[in-house]
Amino acid sequence: MEKETYLVIESLDCPTCQAPAGSPCRTSSGKVASIYHTPRFTAHPRLRNELKHSTPKHRNPGASWERLDAPAIAAASVEGNEIRLGYARCSSNGQELQSQLDALEPVCNKVFSEIISSRIKQRPELEKVMQLARQFTDAGQSVTLVVHEFKRLGRGALDLLQIAEKLRMDGIQLEFLTGPLSGKHDPSGYGNALFAFFAAMAETERDYIRDRTLEGLEVARKKGKVIGRPVVGSADMAVMARALKDQGKSVPEIREQLIIPSGKHKGEHPSVRTVYRLLGSE
């Protein structure tokens, strides 16, 4: 038997022998059954096409049957009810995350949140909510992953589509509370195409913003505007720095003899890094 599959099977009561959730199946003579009853494991989407599942050895098949404690996953849910798991994310501290939590908490059984850039591939809280969702679907529950807006879920079209595929494989519904995708979607049906369309739109918009930014920078350069941090130093400083170096002076000694001629740091000594730059070492 696949590791932990028995926990999935035992997450529901057995309709054949009436064994409660958390306990193995039993025979008519009051012994632990050597295999689980078919109606019990075929109730789970992942196992419905299986022919049989043996009771693991540590459940003591053939021994006198005793009722065991129900697993946490069974106790945390009621069969037939939808489990709604929320996920919130923002890139930096602020009220943005709290506004997502305020919207998700009233409509979800549990909410996972994190402050992390969407560019970071490993998002621990997203992994946690996906794992818990899979546990509930394996136990026969209907699960919906609820997100405030689709851009909170992925970092680009490819990432969003990969997440959608995972949801489809696990039979997990997806719901967005706001934005162009607001509403519930089934990633295995029409919702998948709609999801892909808006994900592509988001990626296109991101590329458009980047292109506009680059165009704006190029226009600014042509107008003579300084792009980036102001340059500290001058041609005269560079000549003097090289002359001092030729005299055998160290970089700290050169720094002490140079004075910034203008700008915010006028009258101050340049940094060691600036000296290296003037000397052409950086």
Give the integer Cα–Cα distance in Å for 213 and 74.
52
Give the integer Cα–Cα distance in Å for 133 and 21.
19
Catalytic residue check, 91: yes
Residues 6 or more apart whose CB falls under 8 angstroms from that of 137 comprise 45, 46, 143, 170, 171, 172
Strand segments (E) across 91-187? 110-115, 142-147, 173-176, 183-185
Burial class (CB in 10 A: 0-12, 13-18, 19+), 240: middle
| Element counts in the chain: helices (H) and strands (E) | 10, 5
Of 54, 64, 91, 182, which one is the catalytic site residue? 91
Residues 6 or more apart whose CB falls under 8 angstroms from that of 263 comprise 230, 232
Active site members: 91
